[in-house]
Copies of this chain bind each other. A is one copy, B any other.
Amino acid sequence: MNQVDENGRLRHLLTLEGLSREQLLQLLDRAQSIVDEGADRLLTATAVCTLFFEPSTRTRLSFQRAAQRLGADVLNFEAATSSATKGETARDTLKNIEAMGVRGFIVRHAQDGAVAALAEAANPGTALINAGDGRHAHPTQGLLDMLTLRQAKGDLGGLKVLIVGDVKHSRVARSDLHALRTLGAAEIRICAPASLLPEGEVTAGCRIGDDLDAALEGVDAVMMLRLQRERMEEGLVASLDDYHRDYGLTAARLRRTASDAVVMHPGPMNRGVEIDDDVADGPQSLILKQVANGVAVRMAVLEALLAP
């Protein structure tokens, strides 16, 4: 599925992979201008639908707020309370809601590539936004992370950025990695236990290690990932205590970074596991800023895909 049409215009937002620096900057610049000056209600009388085959209240609310601010009408579909339980395919669900006159779909799905597959089935004029598919991509999270980094640090060109945690299963990490590379981060480090490191291309060009103290030395930004509790049941992590001891971001550890380093987390946080309270709520934390930027980034994406 090519998310960009023959004229280079974005038709869907499925992944940050393959988007050019100019395309990313255009979205970030528009999001920043929304943060600074607000936006007109360009989507009045346009209907968008949150189509979630995997539950996520925060992401849904953020997109819903973005759509509301643009004046769009919002419909919500959640698989748990839907005809998905009557055996209808995701594709039929999409085609049906599309036939109701909905032009934008915000789609979350548990399987890698499921959103791109649905986009193949969409009519011209219908836009899909990937709100997370399996471990594949979460492009608006990647964009909001870049917007947040840029607000704090200016141009990303010279930055050393560290990603800590379960990169193997993280769509957030994959989208961040694509964006960081395209925007030219000086150095990307990854720190995780071997069991949570992905194979293949994902981490190409990154400095990889399993020693958090070493990895933190001199970085400008630390992006923590959520540790899903399933990882213990799967035997990939021994215990939450062990994980916190080896990979938890504490105030003491944070002192190893550049003194003006910033801390980010996509939420929801496991406080006391991957991040301590005094870091999460401390002066270097940009975590709530990320959430605020999320609405602006999603407005910019909805506008880019749907505005007349």
Give me the interface of A with B, judged by CB distance under 8 Å. 45, 47, 49, 55-58, 61-62, 64-65, 68-69, 73, 75, 77-78, 80-83, 86-89, 92-93, 95-97, 99-102, 229, 267-271, 288-289, 291-292, 294-295
A101 engages B292 (CB within 8 Å): yes
Give me the 9 closest cross-chain CB pairs, A-B, nearest first.
A88-B268, A99-B291, A57-B82, A68-B73, A99-B288, A83-B268, A99-B292, A65-B100, A86-B268
Is A100 touching B271 in the complex (CB atoms < 8 A)?
no
Please pick, from B68, B83, B89, the residue contacting A58 in the complex, using a CB distance under 8 A.
B83
Min CB gap A238→B, angstroms: 19
Assess whether A57 is in contact with B77, with CB atoms less than 8 Å apart: yes
Measured CB to CB, the nearest residue on chain B to A290 is B99
A64, A69, A268 — most chain B CB neighbours (10 Å):
A268
Report if A78-B75 is in contact (Cβ < 8 Å); known contacts: A288-B96, A291-B100: no
Chain B residues whose CB sits within 8 angstroms of the CB of A92 once the complex forms: 267-269, 271
Closest chain B residue to A65, Cβ basis? B100
Beyond A86-B268, A95-B288, 10 additional pairs, beta carbon < 8 A: A47-B65, A47-B68, A56-B83, A58-B96, A65-B73, A83-B268, A87-B268, A89-B271, A99-B288, A99-B289
Chain B residues positioned under 8 Å from A45 (CB to CB): 69
How many angstroms from the CA of A102 to the CA of B80 in the assembled complex? 26
For A96, list chain B residues within 8 Å (CB).
58, 267-268, 288, 291
CB distance from A129 to the nearest CB of B (A): 17
Query: Complex formed: what's the CA distance from A77 to B59 in Å?
Result: 12
